[in-house]
Structure 1
Amino acid sequence: AGVRGGDTVGIRLPRGRAAITALLATWRAGAAYLPLDPDHPRPRLEFMIADTGVRVVVADPAAEGAEWLAEGVAVVAPVVVGGPAARDLVCDPAWQAGPGDPAYVIHTSGSTGTPKGVVVPHRALAARIAWMRADYGITAADEVLQFASLSFDTHAEEVFPALTAGATLTVAGPGATLPDHLAAGAGDGLTVLDLPTPYWHQLADDLDAVDWPSGLRLLILGADQVQPTAVAAWRARFGDTVRLVNSYGPTETTIIATTAELGRADAVHRPPIGGPVGSTTLTVCDAAGRLMPYGAAGELLVGGAGVTLGYGGRPGATARAFVPDPYGPPGARRYRTGDLVRWRADGQLEFLGRIDDQVKVRGFRVEPGEVEAALLALEGVGGAAVIVREQALVAYVVAAAGSAPDAARELSPAGLRAALAARLPAHLVPNSVVVLDALPLTPNGKLDRRALPAPDRRPDLGGGYVAPRTDAEELVAEVWAEVLGLDRVGAADDFFDLGGHSLLATRVVARIRAATDLTVPLRTLFVHRTAEAFALAVEDLLLAEIEALTDEDAGRLLAAESAPRRNGTTTA
């Protein structure tokens, strides 16, 4: 396709073997790769492609939403590895990537309203891979699950240490949850899992509901603060048989910068983020860049081999975030994380919060300014503020100046969320939108975030309440109400308009599985968003299983009809 050394190739493929092959093929051609999540809206992907200068995208031309790719870039369809077409291909690149050349580009949320592409060089990734293989003890005897989306740099922690060690890499299917994957029997040989901390917290609520691999020896956590109660539950279930590692690191420092071994003491006290990995250097400084003493809070600056090349095409933003490193060799830089930390007496770092407005929502890094800018770009919106409440984004909007006195009533929360969903990835779309006559201000004229009202537990979604009409709808409504903390859910209600999000969706499918022994793909809830539509989808899945039963299967089910289940229910 004409890819040359120094190019960046877009990879728009769902999680799977083809995607992993595309990453390696891109490197083989001397280029870097840019992950393009198939679930992200078109404007977001178009911006990332233009921002990175991508001319070639590896994608399935027949996939949903792929038709627009041909408008500005060449589309390369994935080739079946080992198939006749693959044997005809010859790869003899004239240019090989060097240690300082880009390996991949990952876009992060931007405070100015547009995402920033972090350019990660091969030398930084190679340093991380070498450390992970040694510290995590990855060998050819291991089986590692590839679970993260390629849009997040955690995928590199799963993929490349395993492949370079000769370990088995098991790729979870598109949209599959961890309980789904393990329940299918495909993960019994897994020895290493790498999970987002908020996702693990959800699983820790009921560890016995997950068919954990019998040979699991290492669980790596990351992306958010670990809760002691979850550590306590894990230790009560597994004791010391599974190594539990808490990792921390912004994308700008290549996946991780610190790790901490979580033991029994962390089941009582706030778990730390640990100490430096490999040759990483950590300094805690005040606003003027002066070192802070042990126990004092300050901003964390990260130096060493993992520091990336900066933000592609943004020299100003790069210069502000990547500053000279007085403790490193000539030309070395440190990354200003914006994270507030302190050194503990035991020599480990404790995370305290942020020095700016950036937040973590369910493990996702979010700049409220990016969401606010998207809201202000919508017709009729004159002011916007975005905050986090109970691990969910909440947006507050006011009508544009000069509008009619009752203009605020014309701003529909559901309509505003739909408009944002067409522009932003799902994790940046607020779970609730509150329309106000005016944003509350402090005496200084600044936004008074503490005065912003809490959203209604059951927002007015329009159309009135429609009671569940079938057994399936009643089951779904009951599960949704429990998970969302609502008194009631109607058949026409939208799960995400009620405040649902990806982590709560995981709890929904787990509850449905416990009640029916039916494995419902997580994506089903994202496609069938109302209680009525989701109940119909669940019924269709049940009918499909019934139609697939043999006479012998049916006989076994009838014989076990009244047998008690693990959760105390019986087979219907």
Structure 2
Amino acid sequence: GVVGLRMSGGSIDAVVAMLAIWRAGAAYLPLDPAYPEERLRTMAAVASLVVSDGLVIEDGPARRPAGEPETAAGGTAHDGQDGQAQEPGGETAYVLHTSGSTGAPKGVVVEHAGLAERVRWMRAVYGLRPGDRVVQLAALGFDTHAEEIFPALAAGATVELLPGGGSALPELLARRPDVTVLDLPTAYFHHLVSMIDDVAWPGHLRLVILGGEQVRAGAVARWRERFGDRVRLVNTYGPTETTIIATAAELRGGDPRPPIGRPVRATTVKVLDAYGSPVPPGAPGELHVGGPGVARGYLGGPDPRFLSGPVGRVFRTGDRVRLRRDGQLEFLGRLDDQVKVRGFRIEPGEVEQCLLGHPDVREATVLARDGDLVAYVVPATKGSSPAVPATNGFLPAAHDRTAYDPTTHDPTTHDPTAHDPAAYVARRLPPYLVPTRWVVLDALPLTRNGKVDRRALPPPGPAVGGDVQPRTDAEELVADVWAEVLGAGGIGAFDDFFALGGHSLLAIRVAARLRALAGVDLPIRTLFDRRTVAELAVAVEEALAAEVAVLSDEQARSLLDREGS
């Protein structure tokens, strides 16, 4: 059977619940409380029980009345040698949902055998031991959480829980010099490296694991300049369907395009053309992954991406790669429209289908641009605009936006308006699937074949702030920092950081700039709690006042003398 796990992660209760569910012979299904209720109901359809915070247990949607025969929805196991096993049985470890191109999330059924193989490999190759302290950063709805928790527990290491997710990591690193292992989304790593001298890196740090998207060579070079060979940097690759990772590479620098490496133990990889034939080394092709780590399939029906191989299941990743001369794989992109935004795997079709359900939207297309998810919408009535200004590419007001942290998906939600497409999407999809930039068009550009010409879509304009100018020195400081970090102009006193396209990765940069310019250390979470320029300026003033309050008279006079000179 399946037990829903309605917890945000970062808690002892969540780890206890996962292990207890396994002990009872069931599989766990993460249900992020930050997700819209409609989404959670769809995801939880196969759950017989649901465990929530405080280890409260309730009946799930699939709970059968006493005496009723068991049905597939209740958790009947199928064979599944070629992806045909759509319902989890006793050998299932967990079910994770990924974005689906048809508009509905897809539940990936991952087995204990595949997870156990990955845990054995990670424990050995990462060199995990009882003295290690591994940070648990990822949300439970993403399989990186399994890489952070289970190998560490199996090795007798310590798992450092982080309830605040990525927004709380810089503060944790500053107070825990004994952290030894970090597992970071590549986009998050890029942001940390961009301010590498402002981060209090733990003195005992020995290993950083990356994954989620292509690593930038410049970031690796800067990391090596800072740490040399003291801290290992491991780049990993693997869709959820291959149980966390399928390949790995040690990044030592000097490579113009860092590779995704070689297959991990008990994993096979092949680079094939559109007809299923191997391509020559160096030629691009689709990556096929085999081995015990390949999931059983998706909930609800067979899928052609799961194939039967001579030694078990094979998964067609849809990723375009090439085999280099040194035997390592190089990632080249996708063969379909799937994109990665800040490390999140997104099917634009799912967002487009949701948008098309809005009564004021006639056409819509979604793509990734410069780290943002951009929605292009055509109003249902010519000349109208569905609450999205075409001039600046952003939503008009703060009250109808959802702020989110891409490592925890813990949003601060506000009452959405019925006519706002962003609010409409936010009520139906997880926060990371809600576009952060918007463009209204009279019509979508088309190719000769009548398909949307994505290359002809105009880039969204820069963010534009509100009408009320900053009124104090602190507000001017905050507005200037936001303008620098967001690439925005005319930021007003009551503008919302997240309505202007901000997210937790950019919040880290804001905090670093405020520290450099004003000498104040604000927790990253402050930007989520105080979202406007005016609110954050008050926090800056409070922090400065607190620092002044503890100064002695002599220190205060010395500070005034320096300011006067």
Same fold (TM > 0.5): yes
* 8 Å contact kept, 1:16–1:174: no
Q: How does 1:135-214 map to 2 (within 5 A)?
A: 135-175=125-165, 176-183=167-174, 185=175, 187-214=176-203
Distance 1:349 1:228 in 2: 15
* 8 Å contact kept, 1:9–1:33: yes
Distance 1:150 1:160 in 2: 13
Equivalent residue for 1:364, pick from 324, 341, 344: 344
Q: What is the CA-CA distance between 1:539 and the residue it aligns to? A: 4.5
Equivalent residue for 1:374, pick from 351, 354, 369: 354
Question: 1:467–1:137: structure 2 CA closer, same or farther, 3 Å change rule?
Answer: same
Residues 95-140 of structure 1 deviation map (CA, whole Å, 9 limit, x = unaligned): xxx9961111111111111111111111111000000011111111
* 8 Å contact kept, 1:103–1:122: yes
Q: What is the CA-CA distance between 1:205 and the residue it aligns to? A: 1.1
Question: 1:56–1:561: structure 2 CA closer, same or farther, 3 Å change rule?
Answer: same
Distance 1:369 1:556 in 2: 64
Corresponding position of 2:306: 322
Q: What is the CA-CA distance between 1:32 and the residue it aligns to? A: 1.4
Residues 82-106 of structure 1 deviation map (CA, whole Å, 9 limit, x = unaligned): xxxxxxxxxxxxxxxx996111111
Structure 1 position 407 matched with structure 2 position 379 = no
Structure 1 position 482 matched with structure 2 position 484 = yes
Q: What is the CA-CA distance between 1:33 and the residue it aligns to? A: 1.2
Distance 1:474 1:116 in 2: 46
Structure 2 residue identity aligned to 1:339? D
Distance 1:125 1:541 in 2: 46
Equivalent residue for 1:443, pick from 427, 448, 465: 448
Residues 163-208 of structure 1 deviation map (CA, whole Å, 9 limit, x = unaligned): 111111111232443212112x1x2101111111111111111211
Unmatched runs of 5 consecutive residues or more in structure 1: 1-5, 75-97, 565-569
Question: 1:41–1:542: structure 2 CA closer, same or farther, 3 Å change rule?
Answer: farther
Equivalent residue for 1:426, pick from 407, 422, 431: 431
Question: 1:347–1:407: structure 2 CA closer, same or farther, 3 Å change rule?
Answer: same
Q: What is the CA-CA distance between 1:397 and the residue it aligns to? A: 0.4
Corresponding position of 1:302: 289
Distance 2:314 2:188 in 1: 30
Corresponding position of 2:12: 17
TM-score by length of 1: 0.83
Equivalent residue for 1:510, pick from 506, 509, 512: 512
Structure 1 residue identity aligned to 2:168? T
Q: What is the CA-CA distance between 1:13 and the residue it aligns to? A: 3.5
- Tell me, what secondary structure is at the counterpart of 2:259? coil
* 8 Å contact kept, 1:380–1:411: no
Q: What is the CA-CA distance between 1:447 and the residue it aligns to? A: 0.5
Residues 502-524 of structure 1 deviation map (CA, whole Å, 9 limit, x = unaligned): 32122222323334454434343
Q: What is the CA-CA distance between 1:473 and the residue it aligns to? A: 1.7
Equivalent residue for 2:246, pick from 226, 239, 257: 257
Structure 2 residue identity aligned to 1:532? A
Corresponding position of 1:495: 497
Question: 1:562–1:148: structure 2 CA closer, same or farther, 3 Å change rule?
Answer: farther
Structure 2 residue identity aligned to 1:148? A
Of 128-137 and 405-414, more deviation after overlay is shown by: 405-414
Distance 1:22 1:370 in 2: 31
Q: What is the CA-CA distance between 1:559 and the residue it aligns to? A: 7.3
Distance 2:330 2:59 in 1: 48
Question: 1:558–1:36: structure 2 CA closer, same or farther, 3 Å change rule?
Answer: farther
- Tell me, what secondary structure is at the counterpart of 2:109? strand
Residues 404-431 of structure 1 deviation map (CA, whole Å, 9 limit, x = unaligned): x322366554432222222222211111
- Tell me, what secondary structure is at the counterpart of 1:398? strand
Question: 1:349–1:192: structure 2 CA closer, same or farther, 3 Å change rule?
Answer: same
Q: What is the CA-CA distance between 1:454 and the residue it aligns to? A: 1.1
Distance 1:325 1:71 in 2: 36
Corresponding position of 1:217: 206
Distance 2:196 2:209 in 1: 16
* 8 Å contact kept, 1:197–1:363: yes
Q: What is the CA-CA distance between 1:20 and the residue it aligns to? A: 1.7
* 8 Å contact kept, 2:5–2:30: yes
Q: What is the CA-CA distance between 1:537 and the residue it aligns to? A: 4.5
Which of 1 and 2 has higher RCO (CA within 8 Å, sep 6+)?
2
* 8 Å contact kept, 1:431–1:501: no
Question: 1:515–1:286: structure 2 CA closer, same or farther, 3 Å change rule?
Answer: same
- Tell me, what secondary structure is at the counterpart of 2:385? helix
Distance 2:375 2:433 in 1: 11
Question: 1:430–1:192: structure 2 CA closer, same or farther, 3 Å change rule?
Answer: same
Distance 1:442 1:170 in 2: 52
* 8 Å contact kept, 1:491–1:532: yes
* 8 Å contact kept, 1:224–1:363: yes
* 8 Å contact kept, 2:361–2:386: no
- Cα RMSD for the two superposed structures: 2.7
Residues 498-557 of structure 1 deviation map (CA, whole Å, 9 limit, x = unaligned): 2223321222223233344544343433344332233345545666x569x6x6x65696
Corresponding position of 1:240: 229
Corresponding position of 1:286: 273
* 8 Å contact kept, 2:4–2:60: no
- Tell me, what secondary structure is at the counterpart of 2:479? helix
* 8 Å contact kept, 1:417–1:429: yes
Distance 2:26 2:561 in 1: 58
Q: What is the CA-CA distance between 1:16 and the residue it aligns to? A: 2.2
* 8 Å contact kept, 1:408–1:436: no
- Tell me, what secondary structure is at the counterpart of 1:272? coil
Structure 1 residue identity aligned to 2:433? L
Equivalent residue for 2:528, pick from 526, 529, 541: 526
Distance 1:282 1:53 in 2: 34
* 8 Å contact kept, 1:386–1:395: yes
Question: 1:513–1:47: structure 2 CA closer, same or farther, 3 Å change rule?
Answer: farther
Structure 1 position 33 matched with structure 2 position 28 = yes
- Tell me, what secondary structure is at the counterpart of 1:408? coil
Corresponding position of 1:229: 218
Q: In the comparison of the two structures, how many residue pairs are matched?
A: 511
Distance 2:289 2:3 in 1: 27
Corresponding position of 2:263: 276
Question: 1:16–1:511: structure 2 CA closer, same or farther, 3 Å change rule?
Answer: farther
Of 21-30 and 128-137, more deviation after overlay is shown by: 21-30
Distance 1:556 1:426 in 2: 50
Question: 1:42–1:473: structure 2 CA closer, same or farther, 3 Å change rule?
Answer: farther
- Tell me, what secondary structure is at the counterpart of 2:5? strand
Question: 1:559–1:225: structure 2 CA closer, same or farther, 3 Å change rule?
Answer: farther
TM-score by length of 2: 0.84
